[in-house]
Chain A
Amino acid sequence: MKVLVVNNMAPFLWGGAEELAAHLQRNLTEAGHQSEVLRIPFQWEPATRIPSQMLMVRSLELWNVDRVIALKFPAYLIRHPHKTLWLLHQYRQAYDLLESGQSNLPENEVGATIRNAIVAADGEAFKESRRIFVNSEVTRTRLKKFNRFDSEVLLPPLNDPELFTGGAGQGYVFAGGRINGMKRQHLLVEAMAKAPPLARLVVAGPPDTPDDARQLERLVEQHGLGDRVKLDLRFLPRSEYAAYLNAANAVAYLPYDEDSLGYVAMEAATAGKALISAHDSGGVLGLVRPGETGWVTEPDPEPLAQAMASACTDQTTAARLGAAARELWLRMGITWPRTIEKLLT
């Protein structure tokens, strides 16, 4: 089948959604289909440009396409008789961000008209779609709340699971992924100051800003943790990242209130590693069950220190929890073949 993946484009920017679309296309091709990604430029500032861009997408004519899989607003407004949505994003500024006062829609009649148009257009797009999938429970809840549409959660799989073979832990907790305030790697470093000497931590990943890197470096220095905390702050090639993860006792991932599971957690589970997270981390808690697949604590250095100590010193428990995490993850069946199968039903 000829499957067109339709996504937004913010010119000259490339992020998680673009990666996802590219992997979706690659996996569709591997599954024997023909696939391309249509990337539609979308600029939401100023908000008065939104209506014309909505009309733009709506006016595009597709030919020679059997199926459309659309990912975001306004890309999913595109017309096609067989359209499936895999919602990564609605235009949150018309919904929850409007409620919390963080919208770019002006507070006047024009803004209200645009808002209502977005809601109505979303409804129209949802109605004309054959199936609606969402990428997280949070997205599903929002969709139900604001637009009154049901949807099925379809979590995006890992793109390179074969790298995460696991193996014996070398006695450290690994914290991977982007480094910034929301991801809260600094809590882990602070926790190390309260942890016993055998506890060790490796933080590896690209800092969003130089300040994010400096904050961690200062904390390590401040608490004299130079011999117990390793900071490898850069964009890591996949093989190096996988090496760190595969040799860890446990993987810590404790962002503040995130929608999705988090690739770090999925990778950890694939590798059979126990997980450490916080009560307020959001989507990742779908994988972390305290006592079963890992530790969940208050987002404070002390309880975190305890969890990290256990992970580093109690190999047996760490291994057991890790195996259970892997089981749980496999049961979720979040693989590309299965994802594609669902998207194309």
Chain B
Amino acid sequence: MATDDREVADMNLVMFAPCPRASAIGRMAHLVVNELCGNGHTVVVVCTESAESRHGEVRDFGAQAMHWTDSDEVQAAITSADAVIYQIGDNFHYHEGSLYWLERQRGIVCLHDFFLGNLFWTWGQSDRKRASAVLQQWYGDEIARTYFAHTSSANFIAATHENAPMTEWIASQASAVIAHSGWGMGRVLSACPGPVRLVPLAYEVVPAVGSRFETPISSVGRMQVLTVGHVNPNKRAECVIRAIGADERLREGTSYTLAGAIQTDMRRGLEELANALGVDLHVCGEVSDQELQRLLAGADVVCCLRNPTLEAASASAIEAMLSARPLIVENAGFFAELPDDCVRKIRPDHEEADLCKELLDLKANPMTRKSLGMQAQAWARETFTAKNYARQLTDLVSLSQRSMLVSETMQVFARQLAQWAGAESMLTLPDTLGPLRIFDVGAVQDQKA
């Protein structure tokens, strides 16, 4: 969308984000912070991971940083800021600090997941009564009653991802929201009191590493299929194994690598299945950034499947595209929004069959793999830029500050009416409110037409 060409004054911003190196959201936030600082703004970072999760390497944002539990410091930073931004995803251990401060200080929420069930569930454990009240407010008594009663994670997701995704819970606390794809926007729009924007995620251009990017793709050797990320049922690893196992050509000519944290039970189960079907499976467990780059470089195809689709946007998919890797995705959610000439899409209700077909096609056509990968890379480079994200973010800061200006004006009137024997309701009379529509600040996308 067209951005505002008017000059933007230098801003003081506070960015709430997870600081552990492993956090993809943190990685993205880092890119944006760099861009913002490069544009002349001042950014203070507040690390939002739970104290308990603060093990392992912590990211250096190249800006002043503090932990969300340092109340005085955080408060001081907020007070002197022009705007406060919260990077929020569906993981309590990474985003506890954002939940805490969002309640106390309204700000712009960058929503990485439309489904926030996991975040909410864990948060709700410390105060069930309060959590139930939230559920009741947004979804009614029935859901409030049954929400915490599910026996397994799979059941929980199945039962709540469509009817009670908790998107509204966070959107309603924001002064404005940036979402990274459109499919879950409805709930955001209905709950957010301020402007909402759709902005593609920021990614850095992944430097080309490894031989497979540069040298001609050979048809010798097994086709390397890769899936990245925490291995849970939602990522459909089992489905990929079955699809490969279903055709002799794939069994003989394909290797499947899983790079990401995996539970012992899950690992055992998948390895047993692969054995039984004669599929060449490599389970890596959690890998370092460097190792991940090496694996990506060596992959012929990346399978980035999600069923059900929970994320707002998929970091893994974007990284794969930026690395010029041919990508197979489900035709749902964020993935459905990817251009048809950049990725291969399978039907969620015909996963195995479609997957098998796509893998065979890609195995047989190395030139197709190359062109698909290049196309995806070109498109992703143009779209998922920190430059665009930072610009949209500062625009939104201005936009939401202008919303604040309008609210301030309305508050002056509300206060005066309140002094007149509690007549605030007169503000909503059509004769009062109607003429003030010229002050409306654009909702989704600035309407300058």
Chain A interface residues toward B at CB < 8 A: 46, 48-49, 51-52, 54-55, 58-59, 110, 113-114, 116-121, 124
Q: How far is the CB of B159 from chain A (nearest CB, A)?
A: 43
Inter-chain pairs besides A48-B431, A54-B420, 19 sampled, C-beta below 8 Å: A49-B431, A51-B429, A51-B432, A52-B426, A52-B429, A52-B435, A55-B416, A55-B417, A58-B416, A110-B429, A113-B422, A113-B426, A114-B423, A116-B420, A117-B421, A118-B420, A120-B420, A120-B423, A121-B420
Is B100 an interface position by the 8 A CB rule?
no
Size category of the binding interface on chain B: 10 to 19
Cβ contact of B426, chosen from A46, A51, A59, A119, cutoff 8 A: A51
Whether A116 contacts B431 by the Cβ 8 Å rule is no
A58 to B413, CA, bound (A): 9
3 pairs of A and B residues whose beta carbons are closest in the complex: A51-B426, A116-B421, A117-B423
A46 to B430, CA, bound (A): 12
A59 to B422, CA, bound (A): 18
Q: How far is the CB of A171 from chain B (nearest CB, A)?
A: 59
Name 27 A/B residue pairs within 8 A (Cβ), A-sorted: A48-B430, A49-B431, A51-B417, A51-B423, A51-B426, A51-B431, A51-B432, A52-B426, A52-B431, A52-B432, A55-B416, A59-B412, A113-B423, A114-B423, A114-B426, A116-B420, A116-B421, A116-B423, A117-B417, A117-B420, A117-B423, A117-B426, A120-B419, A120-B420, A121-B420, A124-B419, A124-B420
Contacts of B425 in A (CB 8 A): 113
A51 to B430, CA, bound (A): 11
Chain A minimum-CB-distance residue to B435: A52
Chain A minimum-CB-distance residue to B412: A59
Q: Mark B160-173, 1 if CB is under 8 A from A, else 0.
A: 00000000000000
Contacts of B431 in A (CB 8 A): 46, 48-49, 51-52
Q: Mark B359-385, 1 if CB is under 8 A from A, else 0.
A: 000000000000000000000000000
Q: How far is the CB of A148 from chain B (nearest CB, A)?
A: 15
Contacts of B430 in A (CB 8 A): 48
Whether B413 contacts A55 by the Cβ 8 Å rule is yes
Contacts of A113 in B (CB 8 A): 421-423, 425-426
A49 to B430, CA, bound (A): 9
A117 to B425, CA, bound (A): 11
Contacts of A121 in B (CB 8 A): 420
Please provide the chain B residues from 274 to 323 with a CB less than 8 Å away from any CB of chain A in the complex.
none
Contacts of A46 in B (CB 8 A): 431
Contacts of B413 in A (CB 8 A): 55, 59
Q: How far is the CB of A90 from chain B (nearest CB, A)?
A: 15
Q: Mark B396-437, 1 if CB is under 8 A from A, else 0.
A: 000000000000000011001101111101100111100100
Output the residue of B413, B420, B431, B432 with the most chain A CB within 10 A: B420
Please provide the chain B residues from 195 to 248 with a CB less than 8 Å away from any CB of chain A in the complex.
none
Q: How far is the CB of B346 from chain A (nearest CB, A)?
A: 58
Whether A55 contacts B432 by the Cβ 8 Å rule is yes
Contacts of B420 in A (CB 8 A): 54, 116-118, 120-121, 124
Output the residue of A55, A59, A118 with the most chain B CB within 10 A: A55
Contacts of B421 in A (CB 8 A): 113, 116-117, 119-120
A119 to B324, CA, bound (A): 73
Contacts of A110 in B (CB 8 A): 429
Q: Which DSSP category, helix, strand, loop or mixed, fits chain A's interface?
A: helix
Output the residue of A110, A118, A120, A124 with the most chain B CB within 10 A: A120
Output the residue of B412, B421, B430 with the most chain A CB within 10 A: B421
Contacts of A120 in B (CB 8 A): 419-421, 423
Contacts of A55 in B (CB 8 A): 413, 416-417, 432
Contacts of A114 in B (CB 8 A): 423, 426
Chain A minimum-CB-distance residue to B432: A52
Q: Mark B237-277, 1 if CB is under 8 A from A, else 0.
A: 00000000000000000000000000000000000000000
Contacts of A124 in B (CB 8 A): 419-420
A114 to B416, CA, bound (A): 13
A51 to B421, CA, bound (A): 12
Q: How far is the CB of A305 from chain B (nearest CB, A)?
A: 53
A124 to B423, CA, bound (A): 14
A46 to B432, CA, bound (A): 12
A54 to B419, CA, bound (A): 13
A118 to B426, CA, bound (A): 12
A117 to B426, CA, bound (A): 9
Chain A minimum-CB-distance residue to B409: A59
Contacts of B432 in A (CB 8 A): 51-52, 55
A55 to B428, CA, bound (A): 13
A117 to B419, CA, bound (A): 8
A110 to B426, CA, bound (A): 8
Contacts of B422 in A (CB 8 A): 113, 116
Contacts of A54 in B (CB 8 A): 420
Output the residue of A117, A119, A120, A124 with the most chain B CB within 10 A: A117
Q: How far is the CB of A48 from chain B (nearest CB, A)?
A: 5
Cβ contact of A48, chosen from B416, B423, B429, B435, cutoff 8 A: B429
Q: How far is the CB of A269 from chain B (nearest CB, A)?
A: 42
A114 to B429, CA, bound (A): 11
Contacts of A117 in B (CB 8 A): 417, 420-421, 423, 426
A124 to B429, CA, bound (A): 22
Chain A minimum-CB-distance residue to B436: A52
A79 to B416, CA, bound (A): 12
Chain A minimum-CB-distance residue to B429: A48
Chain A minimum-CB-distance residue to B424: A113
A254 to B93, CA, bound (A): 88
A91 to B425, CA, bound (A): 21
Q: How far is the CB of A108 from chain B (nearest CB, A)?
A: 12
A58 to B432, CA, bound (A): 14
Chain B minimum-CB-distance residue to A109: B425
Contacts of B429 in A (CB 8 A): 48, 51-52, 110
Q: How far is the CB of B428 from chain A (nearest CB, A)?
A: 10
Contacts of B435 in A (CB 8 A): 52
Q: How far is the CB of B195 from chain A (nearest CB, A)?
A: 26
A124 to B420, CA, bound (A): 8
Chain B minimum-CB-distance residue to A54: B420
A48 to B426, CA, bound (A): 8
Q: How far is the CB of A239 from chain B (nearest CB, A)?
A: 47
Chain B minimum-CB-distance residue to A51: B426
Output the residue of B413, B422, B432 with the most chain A CB within 10 A: B432
A52 to B423, CA, bound (A): 11
Contacts of A58 in B (CB 8 A): 416
Chain B minimum-CB-distance residue to A52: B432
A114 to B417, CA, bound (A): 10
Output the residue of B419, B423, B425, B430 with the most chain A CB within 10 A: B423
Q: How far is the CB of B227 from chain A (nearest CB, A)?
A: 61
A52 to B435, CA, bound (A): 10
